[in-house]
Amino acid sequence: MDKQEKIRLVIAMALSAVVIFGWSYFMGPSAEEKAEMARKAAEAEKKTAALTQQAPETKAAPAAPASAFVPSEGVTVKVDTPLYTAVFNSQGGILEKFILKNYKDSIEKDSPNVDLIGENAFAKGPLGLFLSRGGDDQVHTWLHGQWSFDGSDINLDQGTKTLTFTGQVHGFRIERVLTFHADTYLVEENTKVTNLNATGVEGGISYTAAAKSMSAEDNRYNPTKVAYMTSDAREEVTDREDLQKDGLTATGDLKWGVIESNYFMFAVLPGSSESALSAGYQDDVFRMAVNEEATFMPNVAKTFKASYFIGPTDRDMLAKMPNQLADVVNFGWFDFLAKPLLIGLNFFYKYVGNYGVAIIILTIIIKMIFWPLSQKSYASMEKMKKLQPMVNKLREKYGDDKQRLNQETMALYKTYKVNPMGGCLPMVVQIPVFFGLYKALLGAVELRHAPFIAHVPFTDLPWLADLSAKDPYYITPIIMGASMFLQQKMTPNAGDPTQQKIMLFMPLVFTFMFLQFPSGLVIYWLLNNILSIGQQLMIARAGKAKSAQND
Domain segments of the chain: what residues? 76-330, 338-549
Question: Residue 415, exposed/middle/buried by CB under 10 A (0-12, 13-18, 19+)?
Answer: exposed
Distance, C-alpha 343 to centroid of its chain: 19
Nearest-angstrom CA–CA distance, 71 and 251? 36
Question: What pLDDT score does 187 carry?
Answer: 97
Q: For residue 513, give the amino acid letter.
A: M
DSSP state letters, 35-77: HHHHHHHHHHHHHHHHHHSPPHHHHHS--HHHHH-------EE
Residue 523 has pLDDT above 90, yes or no: yes
List CB contacts of 282: < 8 A, sequence separation 6 or more: 124, 244
Question: What pLDDT score does 442 carry?
Answer: 85
For residue range 26-54, what is the model confidence (pLDDT) as tens digits?
A: 444 455 555 555 554 455 444 444 444 44
Residue 226 is inside which H or E element, if any?
strand 225-229
**Model confidence, pTM:** 0.80
List the one residue out of 454, 471, 442 whose CA is nearest residue 342: 442
Q: Is 122 helix (H, G, I), strand (E, B) or coil?
A: helix
For residue range 82-121, what is the model confidence (pLDDT) as tens digits?
A: 999 999 999 999 999 999 999 999 998 899 999 999 888 9
For residue range 456-513, what is the model confidence (pLDDT) as tens digits?
A: 888 889 899 999 889 999 999 999 999 998 988 877 665 566 767 777 788 899 899 8
Residue 64 has pLDDT above 60, yes or no: no
Nearest-angstrom CA–CA distance, 89 and 122? 10
Nearest-angstrom CA–CA distance, 251 and 228? 10
Question: What pLDDT score does 333 carry?
Answer: 87
Nearest-angstrom CA–CA distance, 162 and 181? 9
Nearest-angstrom CA–CA distance, 330 and 382? 40
For residue range 186-211, what is the model confidence (pLDDT) as tens digits?
A: 999 999 999 999 999 999 999 999 99
Residue 535 is inside which H or E element, if any?
helix 519-550
Residue 399 has pLDDT above 50, yes or no: yes
DSSP state letters, 181-192: ESSSSEEEEEEE
Nearest-angstrom CA–CA distance, 383 and 17? 80
Name the percent of the chain lying above pLDDT 90: 52
Question: What pLDDT score does 351 carry?
Answer: 96
Nearest-angstrom CA–CA distance, 360 and 382? 28
Q: For residue 422, give the amino acid letter.
A: G
Would you say how long the chain is, in residues?
A: 551
Nearest-angstrom CA–CA distance, 128 and 141? 7
CA 420 vs CA 59, 69, 382, 394: distances in Å: 91, 82, 11, 16
Question: What pLDDT score does 62 carry?
Answer: 46
Question: What pLDDT score does 410 carry?
Answer: 84
> What mean pLDDT comes out for the span 64-69?
60
- Answer with the residue of higher pLDDT: 326 or 50: 326
Nearest-angstrom CA–CA distance, 514 and 404? 41
Q: For residue 263, give the amino acid letter.
A: Y
CATH topology of domain 76-330: Beta-galactosidase; Chain A, domain 5 (2.70.98)
Classify residue 280 as left (phi > 0), alpha (psi -120 to 50) or beta: beta
> What mean pLDDT comes out for the span 318-340?
92
For residue range 366-392, what is the model confidence (pLDDT) as tens digits?
A: 989 888 888 877 777 777 777 878 888
Nearest-angstrom CA–CA distance, 43 and 19? 33
Name the percent of the chain lying above pLDDT 70: 85
pLDDT grade for 315, boundaries at 50, 70 and 90: very high
pLDDT grade for 522, boundaries at 50, 70 and 90: very high
Task: Give the chain's mean pLDDT.
Answer: 84
Q: Is 442 helix (H, G, I), strand (E, B) or coil?
A: helix
- The CB-based long-range contact list for 490-496 (8 Å cut-off, 24+ gap) reads 490/533, 490/536, 490/537, 490/540, 491/381, 492/381, 492/384, 492/385, 492/388, 493/388, 495/391, 495/395, 495/405, 495/409
Q: Is 258 helix (H, G, I), strand (E, B) or coil?
A: strand
DSSP state letters, 324-361: TGGGGS--GGGHHHHHHHHHHHHHHHHHHS-HHHHHHH
CA 523 vs CA 157, 225, 442, 490, 527: distances in Å: 39, 27, 12, 22, 6
Contact call for residues 451 and 464 (beta carbons, < 8 A): yes
Question: What pLDDT score does 439 carry?
Answer: 87
Residue 548 is inside which H or E element, if any?
helix 519-550
Contact call for residues 210 and 121 (beta carbons, < 8 A): yes
Residue 195 is inside which H or E element, if any?
strand 186-195
DSSP state letters, 409-430: HHHHHHHTT--TTTTTHHHHHH
Residue 501 is inside which H or E element, if any?
helix 497-514
List CB contacts of 136: < 8 A, sequence separation 6 or more: none
Contact call for residues 163 and 178 (beta carbons, < 8 A): yes
